[in-house]
Amino acid sequence: MATSKRTLSVLITGASSGIGKALAEHYAKTTAHTLFICGRNADRLQETKRRCEQLGCKVYSQILDVTDRRATQDWIEGCYKQSPLNLVIANAGTGTIHDTIDSIYQTFDTNLYGVLHTILPAIELYRQAPATSSFRQIAIISSIAGYHGLSTCPAYSASKAGVKAYGEALRVKLKPEGIKVSVVCPGFVRSRITDQNTCPMPFFMEAPDAAKIIAEGLTRNKAIISFPAPLRFSTWLVSILPNCLSDFIYALLPNKA
């Protein structure tokens, strides 16, 4: 994936804000000749499209809710017919300040099933192409919160843990077929989700900086792209401690609001 040539056809879900928007702009100004982006907010998605087109990329946008399995599959298949995809980034996600019954279901529907609705059709399309025909990669946006269940956001951390584990397994399973899979686990990155938080957010990062780290990790075909390093290490360390210790540490965390 040389940055000097526009060689990629890239699809990104949840591209109307946050990491998704930043990734769209990053690829629009570097390696993508065609971008397919989706989101649920028409105004924000149109702004992403306008910005990416200004950067010299051909952009197709679609208002889409990834919890709709059939609509998502139809969109991805239609995109592939227009331009065979090289990179599919399952980024669309949601988070809430307080877990309610409705928000818990919504979180799992978007963060877990929305990812499946995105990557499973892409995998089937990749499989139909000759193994040597093109670069084929899938990126799953999880979270550092997926390293261990968090009492401050049980549904969010559990849904992100699910896609993290699934992506790790897929990487090994699909490697013989020439399909690359990477899981992305960011820390606190500016987005519409973090804009709701009033709790401390250590090592807070702007979305364009996060997008650059993610793109560089995908170029290197890293299995896990997790950042920032201090937060990743501390979260990983707590996750391997005995439960009596990790429970004590996590019980000290402040509420999100």
Contact assessment for residue 196 and residue 257, using Cβ atoms and an 8 Å cutoff? yes
Contact assessment for residue 206 and residue 185, using Cβ atoms and an 8 Å cutoff? no
* Highest-confidence segment of 127-131, 209-213, 249-253: 209-213
What pLDDT score does 153 carry? 86
Q: Computed over its alpha carbons, how large is the radius of gyration of the chain? A: 18
Calpha distance 132→14 (Å, rounded): 29
Calpha distance 155→107 (Å, rounded): 7
* Predicted confidence (pLDDT) per residue in 104-159, tens digit: 999 999 999 999 999 999 999 999 986 555 789 999 999 999 998 888 889 999 99
Which residues are known catalytic residues? Answer: 156
Contact assessment for residue 184 and residue 217, using Cβ atoms and an 8 Å cutoff? yes
Degrees, nearest 5: CA angle 118-9-212 = 85
47 alpha-carbon distance from chain centroid: 20
Query: Helix, strand, or coil here: 186?
Result: strand
* Predicted confidence (pLDDT) per residue in 122-134, tens digit: 999 999 986 555 7
Q: Can you list the domains of the chain with their CATH numbers?
A: 8-251 (3.40.50.720)
Q: Extract the tokens encoding 181.
A: 């899979």
Q: Is the pLDDT of residue 229 over 90?
A: no
Q: Residue 191 half-sphere exposure, CB side, CA atoms within 13 Å?
A: 27
